[in-house]
Copies of this chain bind each other. A is one copy, B any other.
Amino acid sequence: MLRIGLLGCGRIGQVHARSIGALGEARVTAVADAMPAAAGALAASTGAEVREVEAILSAPDIDAVVIGTPTDAHFGQIMGAAKAGKAIFCEKPVDMSVDNIRACMEAVSAAGVPFLTGFNRRFDPNFAALRARLKQGAIGAVELVSITSRDPAPPPVSYIERSGGLFRDMMIHDFDMARFLMGEEFVRLHAMGSALVDPAIGEAGDVDTAAVILTTASGRICQISNSRRAAYGYDQRIEVHGERGMLRAENQLETTVELATEAGFARDPAQHFFLERYEAAYLAEMRAFVEAVTSGSQPDPGIEDGLRAQMLADAATQSRQTGQPVDLPAA
């Protein structure tokens, strides 16, 4: 039974607590949150104790930490957990600074602790099944990856302002997915973006609609597009074109019901809420973490995946601002 300390009891922390409860092979032993009420509520529903972060990091009855705190708290918690020899599950992004992530990588590596970066979409049953077939050679060599992500509605501008921008906050998921599907690092990137959904987003220096092209050393191409708004739900699609065909994963609609009338054939919107859309993914992600830690293997995606995605997000941010393509540095 893996004993877990949960840092951060907000929405995502609650999701992870629920997953841990459903697994049966791990339990939440302690929780911490800057807001005592949040920590207390999650402690009550999980049977865990409320503790301070530092107490959790140094506790002998804690095997692993799940970090779901605000991004700027990650660095200190990762460094502390690594030093204390705890296995680490950290929500994305690992940190806004590539240098900080490198420092974490070194600490984690030196400590030899397992580390999983919370790119939940890799664990979505649809995307995971697509990736598995790709690996089995269903379409031969990959040539062109296309990723479409659209949120149902934009977040408040106050959120946008401290988010690091669309490329670091939203498209980072797609950069990780692109690497996951492509199987080869990107060497060059060009990003374009605009504030079309809400002018206030533009005034805050960010974009809400963006498209990026990336290429690898062998010439494979990836295109990603994002919008902060989709009237028809949370739009999450991937498509991979290869030498022998194409694999794609479509959206999950709310039900399978179809209505046919004079106007034609109508189906439901796509599932709207990310917690509903990725419910199975969050559970599978926690299972992968617990199994890796329990079996002594390295979880996947690891901290280097967090670093690579952040580097792509930084490069896209720069490319969009300068209007020029960016050559990607080696890791």
Q: Which residues of A contact B (CB under 8 A)?
A: 125-126, 129-130, 133, 138-139, 141, 143-144, 146, 148, 150, 188, 190, 192-197, 209-213, 215, 218-221, 223, 225, 227, 229-232, 235, 241, 243-270, 323-325
Contact = CB atoms under 8 A, between A and B. Distances in A.
B257 A227 contact: no
A216 to B, nearest CB: 9
A228 to B, nearest CB: 10
17 contacts: A126-B257, A138-B259, A192-B213, A194-B218, A194-B219, A196-B243, A211-B213, A211-B221, A211-B223, A221-B225, A229-B243, A232-B260, A245-B262, A246-B259, A250-B256, A250-B258, A265-B268
Contact of A257 (B141, B194, B245, B247): B247
A195 B264 CA distance: 25
A217 B255 CA distance: 32
Contacts of A139: 231, 259, 261
Contact of A130 (B196, B257, B261): B257
A170 to B, nearest CB: 14
A192 B221 contact: yes
